Amino acid sequence: MTISFGGGGFSGPIRSKLSTSSSGSSDTVSVSWAIYAVKPPPPTPPTPPQPKAPVQTTALNSDQAPDNSKKPKVDLGAAQKVATAGDTVPLVFCKRANGVGGAWVSPQLTKTGVNNFVGAFLYPVSQGQIVSSPQKTLAWNGTQCVAFRSDATNITLTHYYSTAAALAAAPNSCPITSGSNTSSGTYLFCDFDVFSYLEPILGAGGGTERDLDVGGKYDFRNEITRGSGDLSNTVLKIPVTQFSVFESISGTNVTTAYWAAVGISPPPTTGDFVFSATTAVYNGVNYVTGGQAPGSIRRSPSSGYTSNSSPYTNVLGGSEPLVFVYTGGTIDNQADLAYRTARGESSTATDTTLDGIQDEEHVSIYADPTSPPTSANFQSYADITFLEIQGNIYDNPANGTYPTTTRQLSIFYEQGVSVDLFSQAKVGGVYQTGASNQFVDLAMHFFKLLRRVDGATTADIATPIDTSNLITLASFCTNNSTFFNGVIDKQTNAIEYLSRSAPFFLLRFISSNGRYSFQPILPITTGQQIDTTALTPAATFTDADILPGSFAKTYAEAEQRREFIASLLWRETNNGEIGQATTTTVRLSTTAVDAPLEQYDLSDCCTSAAHATLFGKYQLAFRKHVTHSISFAISLDTTGLIPTQIIKLQRSRVSSVGDNRTETEHYQIEKISHSTDGVTTIQANHHPLTAGNVSEIANEVVNGTFTVK
Amino acid sequence: MTEQVYSLAIGFTATCADGSVHESAHFCVKNGEPMFYNTAGEKLTGNTAVVSINNATFLATARIYIGWFKQYREAES
């Protein structure tokens, strides 16, 4: 079979026809080929270098994780979230008014403690001082209200707070004053190295106890009898042969060394550990005379803490903490038998419902943790409201168990942190303080946290945000019920947050004359209502004002102006149940029910359907009426125009056929900039007015026909 | 002031440094002091400090008992 090619070299597709035949047969195969010129493969691009991993992102990633949000989650029955280093302490900003508002917080757990087997739990709930006191009726463990737990009467909720100034003056003054009696021990304390915890129960099935490195520290211990019924003659008995000792790190069995240290070598084959027993002396001999009552507690030492030498050595002289293992025992419900026999009396059996004993350990780096030395520094606790819950909020136990887990706490506050109230008039020359639901107060509080303003000392002229219209805008928000009630639980850039959130309150956060400023996004009346009367533009520009060649008009894309349904996500604040995010949909009545949905997330701040609906109406009205935007340049403007102001443009259109006309349109300034060469550039959005000079957008929001669900 | 007594071990045979043997001795912490006592209520300390015990009933967990016992040994050494 041969293939012939025409011409020389490859210059394009070459086709060749092959035919084969076999003698004596009619088999003929025709095949057409197309051979294309083959280019050498492109060089393999070099492997790009591995991008550098950004530094300091572990905490940021943790902060952004949905699981670490301090707002109530969908799974209300989840286990309590424990805080990790670097987590953000949230800011609870809210004020309930007329049955609307307040905020639900699901704080993380930072510390637990126990004293006399009563648990204590510490949660940082907010930066700043929360005004409301914590209420059991407004606190939930998972899906159970704290007020209705079986042990509710013994559960207490307490706030702790200390200002930065107070801690700066006395750094060793821990704001968490939970328990102050050295004899009874403290529940919770600031210092990381002052803590308490429960050992597992030691019962008839055996158990384990662990040594703790308390070298150079102080400690004491409580022991409780766990069980029920009449245990007056019932004890737990574990033979010495059911006992072993191990080094916790190497795992070496040091049981023989243990008994030798006790004074018994070789290890004993007789004798018992007897727990939860009472003793007495008869004829000079000590006897076990009965059992301890269920719930009874023994303290060792009887008061204060025991000092331990440093460095730590275990009781066998080694450096590893030891583990003591009991592998089984029995419940003896005639513990006093030997005693009664010695006395010629009979022994009475009692109940066998003894579960065992449990130890509670207390460790401190101070001899008296309620009075730390002046070297202690607890300033990191400044300006944070801590919630402590004392009492049994553990999961309801299965029969015979003593759970140590809790469900996620959710707590409702009607009034959040106390802030400077720039939304109200000064009293005595200073701004009052208190909880607030005004967005303008939140903005000023951000700058206070940034140390840029203080309501008591900063002159209005020096504030980073122009305060001259804050009271007016607060009234505007009140009239429209556009309040801020929410929890800010992530690191955020203040300017970005305020810029992004302001429209939710029909406001705009702008920069003007070297300061930030809030302006209403719609024209408002002197009564701080949306203005649906005739408007007077702030300025009028004609062709004579516009620098030649600077005018540009851009129409919105059709896709951006299509009909849509606004889906608003907001958060319920029914104080009888944990607030969850919910949605309200708004559409123009002329919009089809199956129009595309566009979602707006107001769940960080909005707690009413009315507020969400108002914002939805504005978005729909804007999309309906705004068709284009413009930009143009003029000679330096000295009239003080700012973004959000309405301006009028009158431009002449001259045609060759004499069909001249004047086009008049109104616009809302979006951006205005001044250059050093004496030019002011204005960017503005179309803001049509009716024939009566009423804002079309404002009129649509107030008087338009919408369908809300 | 009420005496605080915390029994740690009872009913054992204690052998002392001087070779004496005490039956039914007991080990307790009295007002913070760990000490062995014989049936006469006498402290077993000094020449009669306990060096070994046998067939005891231990009333505290092993970790707690050995801690006090170590403290006793250190005081007697």
* For residues B6-31, average pLDDT: 90
Angle at A160 between CA A156 and CA A166, to 5 degrees: 160
Global model pTM greater than 0.90: no
What is residue A10's predicted lDDT score, i.e. its pLDDT? 31
Res B1 pLDDT > 50: no
Query: Closest partner residue to B32 among A270, A272, A301, by Cβ?
Result: A301
d(CA A130, CA A150): 28
Place of tokens 């049509």: A688
In a mutational test of the A interface, the residue from B1, B42, B58, B72 whose CB has the highest number of chain A CBs within 10 Å is B58
Query: Closest partner residue to A261 among B32, B57, B66, by Cβ?
Result: B66
What is residue A61's predicted lDDT score, i.e. its pLDDT? 64
d(CA A543, CA A546): 5
CB-side neighbour CA atoms (13 Å) of A587: 18
Using pLDDT thresholds of 50, 70 and 90, give the confidence band for residue B4.
low
Top-confidence residue, B71 or A504: A504
d(CA A124, CA A128): 10
What is residue A402's predicted lDDT score, i.e. its pLDDT? 67
The residue in chain B having the minimum alpha-carbon distance to the alpha carbon of residue A361 is B64
Query: Chain B contacts of A283, Cβ < 8 Å?
Result: 39
Residue B67: both structure tokens together: 């801690």
Q: Is A7 exposed, middle or buried (0-12, 13-18, 19+ CB in 10 A)?
A: exposed
d(CA A206, CA A326): 5
Compute CA distances A235 → A204, A334, A336, A341, B24, whole Å: 10, 8, 10, 18, 20
Contacts with A620 (C-beta within 8 Å, 6 or more apart), sequence order? A564, A566, A586, A587, A588, A700, A704, A706
In a mutational test of the B interface, the residue from A248, A309, A313, A315 whose CB has the highest number of chain B CBs within 10 Å is A315
> CB B62 to CB A324 under 8 A?
yes
Instruction: Report the gap between the CA of A457 and the closest CA in chain B (Å).
Output: 58
Residue ranges of chain A with per-residue pLDDT less than 70: 1-39, 51-63, 179-186, 397-403
Query: ipTM score of the complex?
Result: 0.92
Residues of A with CB under 8 A from a CB of B: 202, 209-211, 221, 240, 243, 245, 258, 261-265, 268, 270-275, 277, 279, 283-288, 298, 300-302, 315, 322, 324, 357, 359
For residues A666 and A652, the answer to whether their CB atoms sit within 8 Å is no
